[in-house]
C-alpha cells in the first residue's frame, strides 16, 4: 500500500479521537484541522483533484469562523458571568 | 487491504465514534464543544461519499458544511446573549 493513504488514515483516526477526548476548545479546533488534513490526503490519494481544490479552499474558512466564534463566545460568556445578576435589578 | 475498503471502514468508524462522542462525550453541556464534536461525524459522511465515488455530492457537502458552521456559531452566540437577558 502507498504511504499517502496510510498516513492520512492515521491522521483521521488520531484527529477524531483527539476531537472527542480533549476538553479545551482551542485543542479541539487544532485536532479538527488535523482531521481535515487527513481527509484531504485521502481525497488526493483517490485522484479527485477538483474536490481537493474545493476542500482546501473551504477548510481554512471553517477553521477561521470557528476561532472567531470561539473568541466572541468566550467574551459573551464572561460578561454574562460578571454582569448577569446585577444589571436586571437596575433595569427593573 | 484495498484503498476503497480502507476509506469506507474509516468513514464508518468516524461516524460511529463521532455520534457516540456527540451524545455521551465529555463536556457536552457547553454547546460550543458539542458543535465541535458534531464535525467528526460530518467528516465521516464525507469519507463515505468518497468511498462510493459520489464526487458531486462530496463537493456539495463540503460547501454546505462550511456555511453550516457559520450559521451554527452565530446561532450559539445569539442564544447565549438572549439567555443572559432572560435571567
Q: Mind listing the pLDDT tens digit for each residue in A51-85? A: 999 999 999 999 999 999 999 999 988 887 665 55
Distance CA A3, CA B34 (A): 33
Predicted local confidence at residue A2, as pLDDT = 86
Domain that holds residue A73: 3-86
Residue A92 lies in a domain: no
Q: Which CATH number is A35's domain given? A: 1.10.287
Answer yes or no: is pLDDT of B86 > 80. no
> Considering only CA atoms, which of A18, A36, A20 is closest in space to residue B69?
A36
Vertex B6: Cα angle to B22 and A48 (nearest 5): 95
Distance from CA of B10 to the nearest CA of A (A): 7
Taking residue A46's Cβ as centre, other Cβ atoms within 10 Å add up to 17
Q: Which residues of B touch A34 (CB under 8 A)?
A: none
For residues B17-36, one letter each, b for 16 or more C-beta atoms within 10 angstroms of the residue's C-beta and e for the rest, the string is bbbebbeebeeeeeebbbbb
Residues B70, B74, B77, B83, CA torsion sign: negative
pLDDT at A91: 56
10 Å Cβ neighbour count for A92?
5
ipTM of the complex: 0.85
Summary mean pLDDT of chain A: 86
Tell me what pLDDT residue B45 has: 94
Query: Min CA distance, B11 vs chain A (Å)?
Result: 9
pLDDT confidence of B83, banded at 50, 70, 90?
A: confident
Kindly indicate the confidence band of residue B28, based on its pLDDT and cuts at 50, 70 and 90: confident
- What are A1's three cell numbers? 500500500
Based on the number of CB atoms within 10 Å of its own CB, is A23 exposed (0-12), middle (13-18) or buried (19 or more)?
Answer: exposed
Residue in the structure block whose three cell numbers are 457547553: B30
Tell me if chain A has a CB within 8 Å of the CB of B6. yes
Q: Is B47 on the interface with A (CB under 8 A)?
A: yes
Q: How many domains does chain A have?
A: 1
Question: Range of B19's domain?
Answer: 3-85
Under a CB-based contact definition with an 8 Å cutoff, are residues A43 and A80 in contact?
Answer: no
Closest CA to B45 of A50, A82, A24, A16: A16
Q: Identify whether the C-beta of residue A66 lies closer than 8 Å to the C-beta of residue A29.
A: yes
| Chain B residues with beta carbon closer than 8 angstroms to that of A43 | 50, 58
- Is there a domain that residue A91 lies in? no
Asked whether the beta carbons of residue B17 and residue A17 sit closer than 8 angstroms, the reply is yes
Q: How many CB atoms sit inside 10 A of residue A86's CB?
A: 8
Look at chain B and report how many structural domains it folds into: 1
pTM here? 0.85
Contact B73 A65 (CB under 8 A): yes
Q: Please answer yes or no on whether A70 and B32 come within 8 Å at the CB atom.
A: yes
Evaluate whether residue A43 is within a structural domain: yes
Amino acid at each position: 500500500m502507498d504511504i499517502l493513504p496510510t498516513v492520512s488514515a492515521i491522521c483521521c483516526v488520531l484527529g477524531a479521537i483527539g476531537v472527542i477526548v480533549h476538553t479545551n476548545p482551542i485543542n479541539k479546533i487544532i485536532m479538527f484541522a488535523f482531521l481535515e488534513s487527513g481527509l484531504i490526503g485521502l481525497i488526493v490519494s483517490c485522484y479527485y483533484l477538483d474536490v481537493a481544490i474545493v476542500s482546501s479552499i473551504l477548510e481554512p474558512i471553517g477553521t477561521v469562523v470557528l476561532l472567531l466564534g470561539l473568541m466572541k463566545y468566550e467574551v459573551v460568556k464572561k460578561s454574562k458571568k460578571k454582569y448577569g445578576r446585577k444589571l436586571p435589578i437596575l433595569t427593573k | 487491504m484495498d484503498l476503497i475498503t480502507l476509506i469506507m471502514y474509516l468513514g464508518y468508524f468516524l461516524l460511529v465514534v463521532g455520534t457516540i462522542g456527540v451524545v455521551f462525550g465529555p463536556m457536552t453541556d457547553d454547546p460550543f464543544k458539542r458543535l465541535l464534536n458534531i464535525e467528526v461525524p460530518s467528516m465521516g459522511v464525507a469519507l463515505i461519499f468518497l468511498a462510493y465515488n459520489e464526487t458531486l455530492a462530496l463537493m456539495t457537502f463540503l460547501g454546505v458544511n462550511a456555511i453550516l458552521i457559520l450559521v451554527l456559531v452565530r446561532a450559539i452566540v445569539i442564544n447565549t446573549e438572549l439567555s443572559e437577558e432572560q435571567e
